[in-house]
Amino acid sequence: MFVWKKYVYEVYKERSFTKAAQNLYISQPSLSARIKKIEEIIGEPLFDRSTTPLQLTEVGKVYIEAAEEITQIEQRVENYINDLAGLKTGNLAVGASTLFAAYVVPSLITQFNQKFPDVHIQLIEGNTAELEEMLGSNALDFVIDNYHYDSILYNKELYCEENILLAVPKHFSVNEKLKEYQLSYENIKSKKYLSQKYPAVPLERFAELPFIMLTQGNDTRTRGDRLCREVGFRPNIVLEFNQQSTAYMASSTQLGATFISDILVSQLPTFENLVYYKLDGEEAKRKVFFYYKTHKYKTRVMEEFVRMMHEQIWEKDNNLQKLIKL
């Protein structure tokens, strides 16, 4: 009944026989025949084929729950055997939002692959809701995010602190009176700007500017709104985007100011037509964590990844302290 569970699960995940067949590298008729065989053994259909997209029947829901439990047991046994093998094989699935998937996790994966070339690492990009769901269903081992996950369901390991800056098109006249607050790209990239020698700009000075913001529900948007509200104004929003990188690019075309992560700024080439400012307050600071499921068996692959991550953090912190003291 569960020998072909991966086929049922792929159809359930994609809600389509065509997409599932493509992912499994088999023909759609072959996939349909295997699902039909399982349904004949059970005596009930697993999918309601009258709906678009496909939906599970009540029997199908029970089957998927059982299949997930069986898969977890298989993974635990496989992980244990892999541990005994001394990391000569193994798998690691890491999830991240667009920002971290593009600019943070790849360096960790590269470093890990150099040390353990036989371990297969998968990087999955998604939004917070998608990533948390995959982490909860054991489809992911870790998620890196600046959003706070349920502390009962998930353990966390601090990776770094992120700071929100304000990027302002250079042509706005307000910049002329705020030169003492302006940050160089080099100081942002090196994190030297975090020193007390570099003052935070009074955000209320930008109350009359147009703003480019992320959409409602995004943490950067929420923090940006609060930062503005704390100094007594509501931003005049002229554009909204889903991704920080898109808002950043739009700001570089001189359309408006935007709140931007110092991680993103430091990873991309500087825009000569933007001016950067440090912001004050707790809303301008947030922690980035690696999350993993509570009570999940932590494989040796996972332990080694966490250990390597802590080594990288320690090295970065030491370098940062040296730079700030300069």
161-286 maps to CATH 3.40.190.10: yes
SS (H, E, C) 8-48: HHHHHHHCCHHHHHHHHCCCHHHHHHHHHHHHHHHCCCCEE
Q: Which residue ranges make up each domain of the chain?
A: 5-70, 161-286
d(CA 228, CA 164): 13
CATH class of 5-70: mainly alpha
d(CA 252, CA 86): 49
A 10 A CB-CB count for 31 gives 22
Taking each helix axis from N to C end, the angle separating 300-325 and 58-84, rounded to the nearest 10 degrees, works out to 70
142-145 and 182-183 as β-strands: parallel, antiparallel, unpaired? unpaired
d(CA 207, CA 27): 59
Q: Name residue 64's amino acid.
A: I
Work out whether the CA dihedral 78, 79, 85, 90 comes out positive or negative.
positive
SS (H, E, C) 290-316: EEEECCCCCCHHHHHHHHHHHHHHHHH
Taking each helix axis from N to C end, the angle separating 300-325 and 105-115, rounded to the nearest 10 degrees, works out to 120
d(CA 283, CA 123): 29
Residues forming a β-bridge with 308: none
d(CA 112, CA 217): 33
CA distances from 102 to 30, 157, 308 (A): 37, 20, 19
**How is residue 232 written in tokens?**
């007594």
pLDDT in tens, 240-290: 999 899 999 999 999 999 999 999 999 888 899 999 999 998 999 999 999
CA distances from 246 to 83, 97, 212, 249, 255 (A): 42, 14, 10, 5, 12
d(CA 283, CA 164): 8
Work out whether the CA dihedral 206, 209, 215, 216 comes out positive or negative.
positive
Q: Name residue 104's amino acid.
A: V
For residues 294 and 153, the answer to whether their CB atoms sit within 8 Å is yes
pLDDT in tens, the chain (326 residues): 777 788 998 999 999 999 999 988 999 999 999 999 999 999 999 999 998 889 999 999 999 999 888 988 888 888 777 765 677 778 899 999 888 998 889 888 998 999 888 889 999 998 888 899 999 988 999 999 988 899 999 999 888 889 999 999 999 999 999 999 999 999 999 889 998 899 999 999 999 999 999 999 888 999 999 999 999 999 999 999 998 999 999 999 999 999 999 999 998 888 999 999 999 989 999 999 999 999 888 888 888 898 888 887 767 656 555 555 55
d(CA 183, CA 266): 12
3-state SS, residue 175 = helix
